[in-house]
Amino acid sequence: MESNCVDTPRPLENEVTIFEDDDTDQWKQEEPVDLRAFLHSPQRRSTQVIFTTESALKQCALNLPAEFQRTLNEDLNGASHTEYSFDANEINLHKSWTVFKLKEVRTASKYFWLQPSVFVEWHIPPQPRTRASQEYSSAIPVQPGSNDAPGIQRVFFVGLPMDEQLAIRKRFPTRDMRYYNPYIWHAVFAHAVAMLYEKYFWSLRNLVRAVEKGRNNKTHAELQATDFPNLHDIARHIFHSTEILEVAEHNIKSVTADHTRWRHDFPEMASRVHGAHLQTGQKLAFAAKEMYSLKIRSKSLTDRLHNEINLAFNLVNQGFGRTAQSDSAMMKTIAVVSLVYLPGTFVSGIFGTNFFDYQSGAADSLEMAKNFWLYWVVTLPLTLATVVVWALWHYRLAFTKRYAKGGDSGVIGKDVDQAGKV
Per residue in 162-192, pLDDT (tens digit) is 999 999 999 999 888 888 888 999 999 999 9
CA dist 231 and 243 (Å) reads 19
Residue 150 contacts residue 118 (beta carbons within 8 Å): no
Residue 96 contacts residue 82 (beta carbons within 8 Å): yes
Would you give the DSSP letter of residue 30?
A: P
CA dist 119 and 281 (Å) reads 18
Residues of the chain with pLDDT under 70: 1-14, 127-150, 220, 223-224, 318-327, 329, 336-337, 339-348, 351, 354-369, 394, 401, 403-422
pLDDT (0 to 100) of residue 128:
57
Ramachandran region of residue 151, left (φ > 0), alpha (ψ -120 to 50) or beta?
A: left
CA dist 406 and 386 (Å) reads 28
CA dist 252 and 127 (Å) reads 28
pLDDT one-digit tens code per residue, 41-66: 888 888 999 999 988 888 887 888 88
Q: How far apart are the first and last CA of the chain?
A: 62
Q: Whose CA is closest to 269, among 81, 128, 86, 131? A: 128
Residue 252 burial by CB count (10 A; 0-12/13-18/19+): exposed, middle or buried? buried
Residue 245 contacts residue 294 (beta carbons within 8 Å): yes
Strands (E), 230-387: 356-357, 367-368
pLDDT one-digit tens code per residue, 196-245: 999 999 999 999 898 888 877 777 677 667 788 888 899 999 999 999 99
Q: Whose CA is closest to 294, among 211, 190, 171, 213? A: 190
pTM of the model: 0.69
* φ, ψ of residue 76 in degrees (nearest 5): -80, 170
